[in-house]
């Protein structure tokens, strides 16, 4: 029972965690909406991915290229520009200061309509602030906690991001950790300001486009591809020097890449269950040997070979399912504990729980078949003489 419980525990715990991970990814990217796509300078795949292709990176999308696209793109859609300025900024308010690990992102006035982020307090950037590069900032909840605390309203206050002084216009709604990294330890500034104070000339802009309806997405992507090829001066017949990614595709690619880890963990669980099959079969064979006289008495009183076979087979299945029940309970608990430490939602993997029950029945039948057959074939006279 313990061996079976361990095997089921490994299977259910790992698969519970990956169900929580998938739910988190889908939730994260669905916030951007299925009607959005992104233009960026790198291919959204991973080294060793499909067909062994490595991730391709193109030359950065310059701010001027992104700005020109925003001006010339005529399709009825919302276009937003953003740029990761730095990941090592230090934020200070009076005597309180963060570590130098705050992410600074430059955004425009349309960012909240395309990104999936929401405001918990304050307001977003105006078009005037975005174009003028004003020193206004929207900060994440981690930054608020570190430099303002729980009793100070940060909206309207002035703080320093690096060496520059900014007025806080708003606070981002908390998103918690995403795959081990906090989505709240960041500051948003206007993209013009990010270029002025944090830009290195190599920062690549990301263009996000949101259309009104999902049915318009492919047409919008087609027009965006044509428009940006002209801006990037891509010769006819040559491949794009940029990548267009739908928001839901991001989650699917990450899930595909983590599927290998899930498969390895599942294989470990299956190997453990194979060991459980051998162990349970041996235990049942010992049980047949120890109960030989009992089997002889039952046969002498009229029990058929089928009845004896059914008895030992049901015992093996019962032992397997009792171990499986313990494994399922512990596996769901352990999987959700791991998910909780990553700030993922609690999930109950009903599919894997049902599959575990089926697996336990199969394990019990395989383990009990040979011992049950051996018990059924015993001669009642020989069995009664057994010491």
* DSSP per-residue letters across 331-375: HHHHHHHHHHHTTPPP---HHHHHHHHHHHHHHHHHHHHHHHHHH
Single out the residue in 214, 241, 268 at which a domain terminates: 241
Q: Check whether residue 216 and residue 312 sit in a common domain.
A: no
Asked if 149 and 199 sit in the same domain, the reply is yes
Residues 93 and 148 in one domain: yes
Residue 30: inside a domain: no
Phi, psi dihedral angles at 158 (to 5 degrees): -110, 135
Query: What element of type H or E holds 167?
Result: strand 164-172
Q: Are residues 381 and 318 in the same domain?
A: yes
Rounded to the nearest integer, the mean pLDDT of the chain is 84
CA distances from 276 to 2, 221, 273, 372 (A): 9, 53, 5, 17
How does DSSP classify residue 51?
G
48 pLDDT band, cuts 50/70/90, is: very low
In a domain, residue 225? The reply is yes
**What range defines the domain where residue 287 resides?**
2-21+254-385
195 and 91, same domain (yes or no): yes
CA 33 to CA 68: how far, in whole Å? Answer: 24
Q: Do 268 and 336 lie in a common domain?
A: yes
Q: Does residue 51 lie within any of the structural domains?
A: no
Interatomic CA distance for residues 161 and 97, integer angstroms: 10
Q: Of 80, 128, 88, give the one whose Cα is nearest residue 106.
A: 80
Do residues 155 and 103 make contact, with C-beta atoms less than 8 angstroms apart?
no
Instruction: Give yes or no: residues 223 and 265 share one domain.
Output: no
In this structure, what is the dihedral angle of CA atoms 27, 33, 36, 39, given to the nearest 10 degrees? -30
The Cβ-side half-sphere exposure at 203, using a 13 Å CA radius, reads 26
- Distance, CA of 197 to chain centre: 34
Could you give the CA distance from residue 191 to residue 85 in angstroms, rounded to a whole number? 9
Question: So what's the pLDDT on residue 294?
Answer: 84
Q: What φ, ψ does residue 190 adopt, rounded to 5°?
A: -70, 150
Residues 130, 108 contacting (CB under 8 angstroms)? yes
**Residues 232, 264 share a domain:** no
What's the rounded Cα separation, in Å, for the pair 23 and 336? 13
Q: CA 165 to CA 170: how far, in whole Å?
A: 15
Please tell me the predicted confidence (pLDDT) of residue 49.
Answer: 46
In this predicted structure, which of 88-102, 132-146, 326-340 has the lowest mean pLDDT? 326-340
C-alpha torsion angle, residues 294, 299, 305, 311 (rounded to 10): -40
Q: What is the pLDDT of residue 31?
A: 54
> Among 5-14, 164-173, 294-303, 376-385, which stretch is predicted with the lowest mean pLDDT?
376-385
pLDDT at 64: 92
Residue 271 has pLDDT above 90, yes or no: no
Residue at 29 is within a domain? no
Q: Exposed e or buried b for every residue in 105-133, given b needs 16+ CB within 10 A?
A: bbbbbbbbebbbbeeeebebbeeebbeeb
Do 12 and 109 fall within a single domain? no
Global pTM value:
0.63
Domain count, the chain: 2
Helix or strand holding residue 194 (H, E): helix 191-197
Same domain for 268 and 237: no
Nearest Cα to 189, choosing from 81, 106, 291, 118? 106
Q: Which of 343, 348, 336 is nearest to 13 (CA)?
A: 336
pLDDT of residue 8: 84
Buried b (16+ CB within 10 A) or exposed e, 332-361: bebbbebbeeeebeebebeebbeebbebbe
Judge whether 356 lies within some domain.
Answer: yes
C-beta separation of 27 from 361 below 8 A: no
Alpha-carbon gap, residue 81 to 66, rounded angstroms? 7
236 in the same domain as 97: yes
Please report whether residue 126 resides in a domain.
yes
Q: What is the reported pLDDT for 387?
A: 63
Give the model's pLDDT for residue 47: 45
Using one digit for the tens of pLDDT, what is the confidence trace for 216-241? 888 999 999 999 999 999 999 899 98
Say which residue, 180 or 200, is predicted with more confidence.
200
Do 165 and 261 fall within a single domain? Answer: no
């Amino acid at each position: 029972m313990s061996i079976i419980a361990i095997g089921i525990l490994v299977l259910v715990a790992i698969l519970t965690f990956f169900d929580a991970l998938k739910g988190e990814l889908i939730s994260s990217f669905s916030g951007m909406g299925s009607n959005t796509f992104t233009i960026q300078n790198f291919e959204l795949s991973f080294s060793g991915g499909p067909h062994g292709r490595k991730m391709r990176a193109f030359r950065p999308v310059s701010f001027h290229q992104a700005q020109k696209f925003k001006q010339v793109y005529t399709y009825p859609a919302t276009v937003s520009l953003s740029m990761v300025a730095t990941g090592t900024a230090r934020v200070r308010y009076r005597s309180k200061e963060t570590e130098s690990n705050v992410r600074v992102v430059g955004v425009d006035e349309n960012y909240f309509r395309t990104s999936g982020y929401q405001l918990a307090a304050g307001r977003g950037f105006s078009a005037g602030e975005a174009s003028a590069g004003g020193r206004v900032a929207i900060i994440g909840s981690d930054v608020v906690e570190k430099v303002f605390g729980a009793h100070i309203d940060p909206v309207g206050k002035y703080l320093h991001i690096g060496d520059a002084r900014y007025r806080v216009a708003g606070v981002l709604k908390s998103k918690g950790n995403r795959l081990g990294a906090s989505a709240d330890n960041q500051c948003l500034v206007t993209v013009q300001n990010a270029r002025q104070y944090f830009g290195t000339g190599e920062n690549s802009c990301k263009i996000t486009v949101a259309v009104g309806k999902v049915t318009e997405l492919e047409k919008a992507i087609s027009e965006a591809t044509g428009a940006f090829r002209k801006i990037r001066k891509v010769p006819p017949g040559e491949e794009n020097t940029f990548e267009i990614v739908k928001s839901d595709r991001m989650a699917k690619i990450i899930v595909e890449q983590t599927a290998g880890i899930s498969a390895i963990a599942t294989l470990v669980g299956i190997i453990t269950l194979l060991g459980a099959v051998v162990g349970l079969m041996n235990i049942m064979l010992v049980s047949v040997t120890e109960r030989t006289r009992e089997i002889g008495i039952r046969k002498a009183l009229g029990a058929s070979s089928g009845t004896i076979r059914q008895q030992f087979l049901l015992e093996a299945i019962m032992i397997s399912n009792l171990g499986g029940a313990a494994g399922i309970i512990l596996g769901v608990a352990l999987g959700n504990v791991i998910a909780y430490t990553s700030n993922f939602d609690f999930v109950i993997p009903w599919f894997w729980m049902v599959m575990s029950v089926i697996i336990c029945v199969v394990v019990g039948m395989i383990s009990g078949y040979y011992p049950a057959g051996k018990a059924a074939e015993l001669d009642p006279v020989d069995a009664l003489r057994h010491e």
